[in-house]
């Protein structure tokens, strides 16, 4: 019996990990579907690009506002109950968005969908970190990051099947959130009670404990959002066709999806801190090479690697978070990560766009290179590489 019980516990642990990752993958598909869907609808209504952008910004603002509340919600109601409630509320809010079809009502509703989906995402990520065996945390978080990225990429593909008009695309998203809650309900009793362990810590109280990790999240988020928004603009400076720039963005996303597991395995052999620094340096190198390679065939492998290592900064930060913190500190830390992701996504693209207005297209790699260089310098000064 002594030999059977550990095997049973390990099987239950892997079942729980699989269930949580399935939950987040479905969540990612629903989120990846909603962003382009709502933009297409507003565009058909003749809404200006500025208003479409402001409408889309309400969701990350919801992330930022809700993040500090997650630790207290998890402590008061339990992490499992909070996540299940958020899955149900996400389906309800998406249904309201589909029902109203009104630009101005969508502003508060898109804020709400950011606020209610954020705890579901954060708590699911915490469970994966807590459940992952330390010796295999790198590969598990690599798989997790890969599936999240693939889910977000699959969302827009769903629109090819169901279209962007009427209720069908909304029903796909609503059903995805319901299915997400169902996956979570199946494994909820096997999940660790991360909200009850350790000293109670707020998001703001966590920030001084890992400011370098949080800075890495800002850089990773800002880089991703700025490239997705401004790389097509950068390409027009060189007279590159929109189709080619779209293909480059797809190649970048493919690198992100394909390389997170290898990076996770590398983190197990080295350390997450060292691999994070390597990813940062390679991302900085990509900023230097972009103007030199953008018109050559070498830009394709460069963009592929760029996508892998830029998102790898975040993957390594998540692995390190799990290595250094547990219990309520892990809850507060992951909520802080979510907050900083929203901050980076909101601040860096306008900053890069403003620099591009000042100095031309080169403002994109200059801005992204500058924030990578600042983080690399801070990392060296803190001697956190090894």
Tell me the percentage of the chain whose pLDDT exceeds 90. 24
**Is 198 within the bounds of a domain?**
no
* CATH number for the domain that contains residue 131: 1.20.1250.20
Q: Are residues 166 and 216 in the same domain?
A: no
Looking at 190, 211, 233, which one is the last position of a domain? 190
**Is 195 within the bounds of a domain?**
no
Q: Are residues 179 and 66 in the same domain?
A: yes
Residue ranges making up the domain that contains 113: 4-190
**291 contact partners, CB below 8 Å, separation of at least 6:** 362, 365
Tell me, what's the pLDDT at 55? 78
Highest mean pLDDT among 50-54, 108-112, 339-343: 108-112
Q: Are residues 298 and 218 in the same domain?
A: yes
DSSP alpha helices (H): ranges in 163-197? 168-187
CB 309 within 8 A of CB 252: no
**CA angle (109, 331, 385) in 5-degree steps:** 115
Tell me, what's the pLDDT at 29? 81
Q: How many structural domains does the chain have?
A: 2
Tell me, what's the pLDDT at 194? 65
Q: What is the pLDDT of residues 214-267, one digit of tens each?
A: 999 999 988 988 887 778 778 878 887 767 877 888 888 888 888 888 999 999
Q: Are residues 145 and 225 in the same domain?
A: no
Q: What is the pLDDT of residues 49-64, one digit of tens each?
A: 667 767 777 888 888 8
pTM attached to this predicted model: 0.82
Average of pLDDT values for 203-220?
90
153 vs 117, higher pLDDT: 117
**217 contact partners, CB below 8 Å, separation of at least 6:** 314, 317, 337, 340, 341, 344
pLDDT greater than 50 at residue 386: no
**325 contact partners, CB below 8 Å, separation of at least 6:** 209, 210, 333
User: Average model confidence (pLDDT) for the chain?
Assistant: 84
Q: Are residues 245 and 139 in the same domain?
A: no
Q: Are residues 247 and 369 in the same domain?
A: yes
Distance CA 71, CA 200 (A): 8
């Amino acid at each position: 019996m002594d030999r059977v019980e550990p095997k049973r516990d390990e099987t239950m642990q892997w079942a729980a990990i699989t269930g949580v990752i399935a939950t987040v993958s479905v969540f990612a598909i629903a989120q990846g579907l909603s962003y382009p869907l709502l933009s297409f609808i507003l565009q058909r209504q003749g809404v200006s690009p500025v208003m479409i952008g402001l409408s889309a910004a309400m969701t990350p603002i919801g992330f930022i506002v809700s993040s500090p509340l997650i630790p207290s919600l998890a402590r008061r109601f339990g992490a499992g109950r909070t996540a299940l409630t958020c899955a149900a509320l996400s389906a309800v809010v998406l249904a309201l968005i589909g029902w109203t079809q009104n630009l101005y009502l969508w502003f508060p509703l898109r804020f709400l969908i950011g606020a209610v989906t954020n705890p579901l995402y954060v708590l699911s990520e915490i469970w994966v970190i807590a459940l992952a065996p330390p010796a295999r945390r790198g590969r598990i978080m690599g798989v997790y990051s890969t599936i999240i990225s693939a889910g977000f990429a699959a969302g827009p593909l769903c629109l090819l099947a169901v279209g962007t008009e009427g209720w069908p695309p909304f029903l796909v998203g609503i059903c995805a959130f319901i299915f997400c809650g169902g996956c979570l309900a199946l494994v909820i009793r096997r999940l660790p009670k991360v909200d009850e362990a350790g000293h109670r810590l707020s998001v703001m109280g966590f920030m001084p404990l890992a400011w370098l990790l949080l800075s890495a999240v800002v850089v990773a988020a800002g880089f991703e959002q700025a490239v997705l928004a401004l790389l097509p603009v950068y390409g027009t400076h060189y007279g590159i066709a929109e189709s080619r720039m779209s293909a480059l963005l797809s190649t970048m996303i493919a690198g992100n999806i394909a390389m997170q597991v290898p990076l996770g395995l590398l983190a197990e052999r080295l350390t997450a801190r060292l691999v994070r620094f390597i990813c940062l340096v390679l991302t900085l190198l990509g900023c230097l090479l972009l103007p030199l390679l953008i018109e050559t065939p070498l830009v394709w492998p460069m963009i592929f690697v760029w996508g892998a290592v830029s998102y790898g900064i975040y993957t390594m930060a998540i692995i390190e978070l799990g290595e250094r913190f547990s219990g309520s500190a892990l809850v507060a830390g992951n909520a802080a990560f979510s907050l900083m992701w929203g901050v980076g996504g909101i601040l860096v693209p306008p900053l890069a766009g403003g620099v591009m207005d000042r100095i031309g297209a080169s403002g994109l790699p200059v801005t992204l290179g500058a924030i990578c260089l600042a983080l690399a310098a801070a990392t060296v000064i803190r001697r956190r590489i090894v």
